[in-house]
C-alpha cells in the first residue's frame, strides 16, 4: 500500500512538472511569435496594394489587398519571396488608407492570410478587429492552395477545425490559386464543406499540347456547387479567358483584364524616405 502511495505521489509530481513546463514553453513561444501584432521592421519594406474584383457585368464587387515587397536593387515593388508571417496589424492600418469612395462602393474586402496566421490563437481577435474597421463590407480571408499543400497534416487539421467553428456570416473564406490537377482536388476535398469561395487560376485550365488537365473548370464548378461554394477566377488577362468565364457563368473575376494592383496609400512611409 505504501509503495502504491509513493508511486501515485511521484506520478502526480512529474505530471505537474510537465504541465508547468508546457505552459512556460507555450507562453514564450506565442510571446515571441511574429505575424499577428508585431512589426519587427516590416513597415519600411512591405506595403499592401489593392486589386479590384469585378462581376460579369463589369461592376466593382470587391477589393483584394496584396502584399508587396520593395526591391532596393531594382527599385520596384514585387511579390514577397519568403514572408510566411507578415504583420497583420499593418493590414488594419492599410485598410484605413483606402480611398473611402472605394470602401463605400464595394461589397467585399479580401485579405490574404497564411495557414500559420489563420491557425494562430490570435486570429479570432484579428477578424473582430478588421470587422470593426470595414463597417458593413463583407470580410473575406484568402488562403493560397500552395500554402495549404506545404502545410503539415497537423496544420491542415488545425485549419479545418477553425473553419468549422468560424462564423461564416461575418467572415468568408476563399482558397485561391486552385489549379486543374487531381492532386489539388484530393488535398482540398476535406476543406470544401467549410469554405465559401474557390478562386481558380484560369491559366491552369487552358488546353494545350503540353498541359494536361485532370479536372476541368466545369467539373470543379459542379463539385463546388454541392457545397454552395461560389466559383471565381483570377489572372484573367486575355479576351478568350473572359469568354471562358462567360461561357461557364462564373460571375466574379480578377486580373489585368479588369484592373492591375495599385497602391492603396497616397504616400507610404517608404516613399517619404526616398
List pLDDT tens digits, range 92-132. 776 777 777 777 778 888 988 889 888 888 788 888 888 88
Indicate the helix (H) or strand (E) that contains 3: helix 2-31
With 0-12 / 13-18 / 19 or more C-beta atoms within 10 angstroms meaning exposed / middle / buried, residue 11 is exposed
- For residue 156, give the nearest of 197, 116, 195, 196 by alpha carbon: 116
Assign domain 41-273 one CATH number from 3.20.20.450, 1.10.10.10, 3.40.640.10, 3.40.50.300. 3.20.20.450
Give CA–CA dist 94/88, Å, rounded. Answer: 10
pLDDT of residue 87: 61
Give CA–CA dist 81/13, Å, rounded. Answer: 48
Looking at the predicted structure, is the pLDDT value of residue 145 above 90?
A: yes
The residue behind cell 470543379 is 220
Question: 33: which residues sit within 8 A by CB, 6+ positions away?
Answer: 85, 120
pLDDT tens for 68-92 read: 878 888 888 887 765 555 666 667 7
What mean pLDDT comes out for the span 10-21?
Answer: 76
C-alpha pair distances (Å), 156 with each of 134, 145, 230: 29, 11, 22
Looking at the predicted structure, is the pLDDT value of residue 37 above 50?
A: no
Averaged pLDDT score across all residues of the chain: 81
DSSP string of 112-133, one letter each residue: E--HHHHTSTTHHHHHHHHHHH
Higher pLDDT, 79 or 52: 52
pLDDT of residue 36: 44
Domain boundaries, the chain: 1-32, 41-273
Looking at the predicted structure, is the pLDDT value of residue 268 above 60?
A: no
Cell of 209: 499540347
What mean pLDDT comes out for the span 159-163?
Answer: 94
What mean pLDDT comes out for the span 236-244?
Answer: 91
Give CA–CA dist 240/56, Å, rounded. Answer: 14
Cell of 212: 494536361
What are the b/e assignments for 227-266, b being 16+ CB within 10 Å?
A: eebbbbbbbbeeeebbebbeebebbbbbbebbeebebbbe
Amino acid at each position: 500500500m505504501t509503495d502504491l502511495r509513493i508511486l501515485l505521489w511521484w506520478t502526480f509530481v512529474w505530471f505537474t512538472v510537465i504541465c508547468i513546463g508546457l505552459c512556460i514553453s507555450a507562453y514564450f513561444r506565442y510571446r515571441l511569435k511574429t505575424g499577428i501584432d508585431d512589426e519587427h521592421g516590416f513597415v519600411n519594406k512591405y506595403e499592401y496594394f489593392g486589386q479590384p474584383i469585378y462581376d460579369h457585368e463589369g461592376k466593382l464587387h470587391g477589393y483584394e489587398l496584396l502584399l508587396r515587397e520593395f526591391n532596393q536593387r531594382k527599385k520596384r515593388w514585387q511579390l514577397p519571396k519568403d514572408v510566411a508571417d507578415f504583420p497583420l496589424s499593418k493590414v488594419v492600418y492599410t485598410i484605413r488608407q483606402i480611398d473611402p469612395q472605394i470602401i463605400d462602393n464595394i461589397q467585399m474586402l479580401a485579405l490574404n492570410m497564411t495557414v500559420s496566421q489563420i491557425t494562430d490563437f490570435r486570429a479570432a481577435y484579428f477578424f473582430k478587429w478588421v470587422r470593426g474597421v470595414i463597417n458593413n463590407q463583407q470580410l473575406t480571408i484568402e488562403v493560397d492552395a500552395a500554402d495549404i499543400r506545404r502545410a503539415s497534416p497537423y496544420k491542415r487539421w488545425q485549419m479545418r477545425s477553425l473553419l468549422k467553428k468560424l462564423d461564416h456570416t461575418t467572415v468568408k473564406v476563399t482558397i485561391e490559386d486552385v489549379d486543374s490537377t487531381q492532386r489539388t482536388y484530393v488535398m482540398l476535398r476535406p476543406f470544401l464543406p467549410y469554405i465559401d469561395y474557390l478562386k481558380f487560376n484560369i491559366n491552369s485550365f487552358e488546353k494545350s499540347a503540353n498541359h494536361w488537365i485532370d479536372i476541368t473548370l466545369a467539373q470543379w464548378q459542379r463539385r463546388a456547387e454541392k457545397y454552395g461554394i461560389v466559383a471565381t477566377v483570377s489572372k484573367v488577362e486575355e479576351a478568350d479567358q473572359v469568354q471562358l468565364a462567360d461561357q461557364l457563368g462564373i460571375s466574379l473575376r480578377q486580373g489585368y483584364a479588369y484592373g492591375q494592383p495599385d497602391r492603396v496609400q497616397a504616400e507610404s512611409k517608404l516613399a517619404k524616405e526616398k
